[in-house]
Structure 1
Amino acid sequence: MHHRTAVRAACLTLAAVSLAACTSRPSEPAKPPEPTPPAEAEPGADGVGDPYYPEDGNGGYDVSGYHVSISYEPKSRKLTGDTQITAKATGDLDRFNLDLNGLKVSAVDVGGKAAKFSRTGEHELVITPASPIAEGTEFTTRVRYGGVPKAAEEGTLGVNGWQIATSGGAFAAGEPHSATSWYPANDTPRDKATFALDARVPDGWSVISNGREKPPTRGSDGWTTYHWAEPNRITTYLTTVGIDKWTFDRSKLSDGTPLVSAYAPGAADKRDVESRLPEILEFLASKFGPYPQSAAGGIYINEDIGFSLETQGRPIYASWADLPVVVHENAHQWYGDSVSVQSWADICLNECFASYAQWLWDEAKEGVILDDQYRRTAEGAPDKLWHGKLFDMGAGNEFTRVYDKGPMALHALRREIGDKAFNRVLKEWPAKHRDGNASWPEFEKFVQGTAGKDLSAFFVAWFHSDTKPDDRFLYPGSLAR
């Protein structure tokens, strides 16, 4: 995700601050605190135990695939949905939950048999199957529902979930919540699954989503169904649907990966920026390894929302998005999408790296001397830049310092361990955890193993603390003054 007010580090102009404000604080203890491992959710629990969003997700099953079918009438804004979820029980289930915001459920089947259901809280759909499900059993759940979708909430960076476009169309976007505003899901990054969408809209409208496009089915009733399928596992907030009068550009990357980009009415001027996507992905692949997604492209909405988002394989861009934002969101295809967070405390694994990708682009394409840029930023930084942790920053603070302090921390790490080890980390980490989840503490261990040195004090200074690092960590290697 790229926040509208996240200042691009390459063009930071920071007010000068007094030397006293920049004075290094006493060093922190050398060893980072041991993280508390997340509790395993009990079968049937209404959350997976992430301390930031304890009611997100559900216990007792692991989803392998979503097949979402919707019909949407832009004039009335009414959605009718029929979603089938394939999952495996991780415990004995006499009941289980799905997450769904609003929308009226009309019927639920489990294993082809009618199941009882009820609603509790803001988003819990409690399902009681006709017969208990034994641990290890694969089962399907079908939910039929409808209504006028609503945004899930006002998040740190703006509205999460279903949003109405100025054209009269609609789109779904938000982090950490968006999927459950239009289909039932196990809404946690820990439960990645394949995703297929059949979306039926009146003729004249069209649909963009994740993954690979299949030919639309044109009915004789004035409606057309569009088909999209993402064969790679995907976390729920990275799924999307866009309903509008899109203009499509279709091509392929050099390796044959399909590239589909869509432009809402009024957004066609973004074609020049998007035309550089093959170049951007080739550059990012040179840093991070082969492109890990099944498809590529972009969704350009003509909306002044507060963020652009790395929806898998096909990011959503606000009307203000520019080339650095396209670099940022596509870096997420490795860091954040292919390798997803284990918990929201780990968000630096997404945003710090996507932000540093912008630095790497400027270094390679614009000739920026990153050490000089780093020193200017460090020497002119206001106190608030240092007053925020990059790991386990606390609920509500996920999308703050990761955009400015985050890339600085990674550049300092690069100078601490040297380019050879750092370049290995950039490629080997996403390869090791491809299509999975990982945590920040795991990353620290990985880096120390790759570099062959104890970096505990460095990680404490930069990632576990909310004070300015001592000079020995602030100016390592070639950064030394």
Structure 2
Amino acid sequence: MRLARWLIAGVVVLSSLSLGPAAAQAPPGPLAGADGLGDSYFPQDGNGGYDVGHYEVTLGYDPAGHHLTGSTRIDAHATQPLTSFDLDFAGPPVHAVRVNNLPAGFVWREPHELVVTPALPLLPGLPFTVTVEYAGVAADTEGEGWTYAPSGGAFAAGQPHSAATWYPLNDSPRDKATFTLHTTVPADWEVVSGGARVRDEVRDGFRTVSWEQRHPVIGYLTTVAIDRFEYLEQRRADGTPLLSAFAPGAEELREHEQRLPEVLDFTESLYGPYPFDTAGGIYLSAPLPFSLETQTRPTYAVWADLNTVVHEVAHQWWGDSVSVYSWSDICLNECLASYTADYLWPERMEGVDVDAEYRDTIRKAAAKPAFWKVPLQDPGPEKMFTSVYYRGPLFLHALRKQLGDKVFFDALREFVTTHAYGHASMPEFRAFIQTKSATDLTGFFDAWLHGTTAPPDQYLYPGNLRG
């Protein structure tokens, strides 16, 4: 995620994004799947007792009345005996649930728990299917999920939550799954999502478009956007197809997306081969305060610039392919993406002296105690999207100078390759980097990742950073 620059400036002092943990509920019975996976920030996100392999989401949407009809099939396998289990869902009313094609009981509980009781218990290790039917007015979450577009269309975007506003799922970074989306809209509207477009058919006044994510994806990295898009089709030198869409009012952002092949080549030179089989962007005319790394096809707000594109493309490695294990690991996503866009691109593509920029930023921060107040590792649920943007690049630049360029870049490439399509945590990253250094980095990491004041000079100015 790239926040609008005005918002980044504000959070340096305020650190005020409101993302509190969900309220606790009574523990489940011994044969019920847990109603959360215990993330320290959002303990009720995700659900226990099963793992999802694939989602197949079928939607019908009427932009005029904001009416959404949905049918979501989930292919999963049980990890324990289950007499009931939960799905995360906060969308339109549910009117039917089937488990293994048999009608199942269900009840919805705030804030987003759809409790399902299958007709027959589920046995551990065995596959099962869940189909959920729902319909009603899709409420406007104003950038926290299903959102109305200025043109009259709609789109889904938000972090750390958004998917549950338009389809039921196991909403945790720990349960990635492949994803297929079928969407039917009036024929004069277009539908864009992530992955490969495998169907675009108009019949009897309606358009049906299908998209496939062939690599596993987290819920908040899935999206659907319905608008009167114009398209830009490009292709990388290796043949990777690039398809980008521009909503009415966002056409002027085409100039940034035309450089996508260059941005992909640059990022690939840092972190290894692009991890997906297609790429592009979804450019909205909505004045969102963020752009988001929706997998393969980032979602861009109307203020997006080239720096934003570089940031969201970097997330395809850091955040999408390698995802956080818990939300307290957010630096693994945002620190790396911010360093790529704010330091590495300017240095290598524009000739900027980033050492001088680093020193200037440190000098200015000396007079701002609030700059150091929020730690990079485990910043807290209300401050997830704060210091990782403005302090994260400084931490990584200092680490680079501590290790030297070859060790630093080789280590990043190895880490992101080793963890491809999976998860990682900041403690894992820290331990891995330590294996690449003969010097004990305990003090360095503690000062930069856990400290709430400026690190000592020996860690602020390693190598030749003092100048």
Q: Provide the TM-score with structure 1 as the length reference.
A: 0.91
Identify which of 74, 78, 82 aligns with 1:93: 82
* Matched AA of 2:207: T
Matches for 1:261-276 after TM superposition, within 5 Å: 261-276=244-259
Using the alignment, how far apart are the partners of 1:50 and 1:241 within structure 2? 26
Residue matched to 2:291: 308
Match of 2:98 among 97, 106, 109: 109
Instruction: Tell me how far 1:7 sits from its aligned partner.
Output: 7.8
CA 1:127–1:405 in 2, change beyond 3 Å: closer, same or farther?
same
Map 1:9-20; keep pairs closer than 5 Å.
none
* Matched residue, 2:213: 230
Which residue of 2 is the match for residue 283 of structure 1? 266
Query: Which of residues 419, 423, 432 is equivalent to 2:418?
Result: 432
Shift of 1:8: 8.5
Residue pair 2:221, 2:295 contacting (<8 A) in 1 also: yes
Aligned equivalents of 2:389 and 2:258: distance in 1?
25
Any unmatched runs of 5+ in structure 1? 15-40, 153-157
Alignment partner of 2:431 out of 445, 456, 461: 445
In structure 2, the residue matched to 1:259 is: 242
Give deviations 1:132-189, integer Å, cap 9, x for gaps: 111111111000001112245xxxxx73101001110000000001001100011111
Matches within 5 A, 1:314-333: 314-333=297-316
1:7–1:403 contact (8 Å) kept in structure 2: no
Q: Distance in 2 between matches of 1:241 and 1:467?
A: 42
- State the Cα deviation string for residues 75-127 of structure 1 (Å, max 9, x = none): 01000001100111111111000011031111111111111111111211000
Contact 2:199/2:208 (CA < 8 Å) preserved in 1? no
Q: Residue type matched to 1:163 in 2?
A: T
Q: What corresponds to 2:108 in structure 1?
A: 119
Pick the aligned partner of 2:370 from 369, 372, 384.
384
Q: What is the DSSP-based 3-state SS (H/G/I as helix, E as strand, rest coil) of the residue aligned with 1:473?
A: helix
- Structure 2 CA distance for aligned equivalents of residues 257 and 132 of structure 1: 45
Report the Cα distance in structure 1 between the residues aligned to 2:117 and 2:100, rounded to whole angstroms: 12
> Aligned pair in 2 of structure 1 residues 6, 420: CA closer, same or farther (>3 Å)?
farther
Q: Does 1:169 align with 2:158?
A: no
Question: Residues 8 and 386 of structure 2 are in contact (CA less than 8 Å); yes or no, is this contact kept in structure 1?
Answer: no
Match status 1:410 vs 2:393: no
Name 1:369's counterpart in structure 2: 353
CA apart distance, 1:451: 2.5
Counterpart of 1:33 in structure 2 is: none
Q: Following the alignment from structure 1 to structure 2, what is the Cα–Cα distance between the partners of residues 453 and 94?
A: 53
2:74 aligned with 1:74, yes or no?
Answer: no
Structure 2 counterpart of 1:84, which letter? R
Q: Deviations over 1:291-312 (max 9, x none)?
A: 0122100000001111000000
Matched, 1:353 2:336: yes
Task: Please tell me the root mean square deviation across aligned C-alpha atoms, in Å.
Answer: 1.9
Q: SS at the partner of 2:310?
A: helix
- Higher RCO by CA contacts (8 Å cutoff, separation 6 or greater): 1
Answer whether contact 1:6 1:403 (CA < 8 A) is retained.
Answer: no
Distance 1:199 1:166, change over 3 A: same
What is residue 27 of structure 1 aligned with on the other side? none
Between the aligned residues of both structures, percent identity stands at 51
Work out the CA distance in 1 between the residues paired with 2:236 and 2:6: 30
Corresponding residue number in structure 2 for 1:148: 137
Question: Contact 2:91–2:167 at 8 Å: present in 1 too?
Answer: no
Q: Secondary structure at the match of 2:381?
A: coil
Equivalent residues of 1:109, 1:142 under 8 A apart? yes
Alignment-derived partner of residue 3 in structure 2: 3
The aligned counterpart of 2:380 is 394
Partner Cα distance (1:472, 1:480) in 2: 10
Number of aligned residue pairs: 448
Cα gap change, 1:73 to 1:7, in 2 (>3 Å): closer
Structure 2 match to 1:213: 197
* SS in structure 1 of the partner of residue 464 of structure 2: helix
Q: Deviations over 1:300-346 (max 9, x none)?
A: 00011110000000000000000000000000000000000000000
Question: Does the aligned pair in 2 maintain the 1:230–1:294 contact within 8 Å?
Answer: no
* Residues 1:60 and 2:49 are matched in the alignment: yes
On the 8 A contact 1:74/1:170 being kept in 2, the answer is yes
In the alignment, which of 308, 317, 338 is matched to residue 334 of structure 1? Answer: 317
Cα separation, 2, equivalents of 1:218 and 1:452: 62
State how far apart, in whole Å, the 2-side matches of 1:255 and 1:452 are: 39
Residue 466 of structure 1 is matched in structure 2 by 452
Describe the SS at the equivalent of 2:436.
Answer: helix
How many Å separate the matches in 2 of 1:261 and 1:243?
Answer: 14
Q: In structure 1, the residue corresponding to 2:242 is in which secondary structure?
A: strand
In structure 1, how many angstroms separate the alpha carbons of the residues matched to 2:392 and 2:133?
A: 43
Amino acid at match of 2:125: G
Asked if structure 2 preserves the Cα contact closer than 8 Å seen for 1:84 and 1:143, the reply is yes
TM-score with structure 2 length normalisation? Answer: 0.93
Output the CA distance in 2 between the equivalents of 1:78 and 1:126. Answer: 24
The answer to whether structure 1 residue 478 and structure 2 residue 464 are counterparts is: yes
**For residue 36 of structure 1, what is the aligned residue in structure 2?**
none
How far apart in 2 are the matches of 1:376 and 1:122? 45
Counterpart of 1:194 (choices 133, 156, 178) is 178
Alignment match of 2:37 (pick from 48, 51, 56): 48
1:205 positional shift? 0.2
Deviation, structure 1 residue 251: 2.4
Contact 1:7–1:404 (8 Å) recurs in 2: no
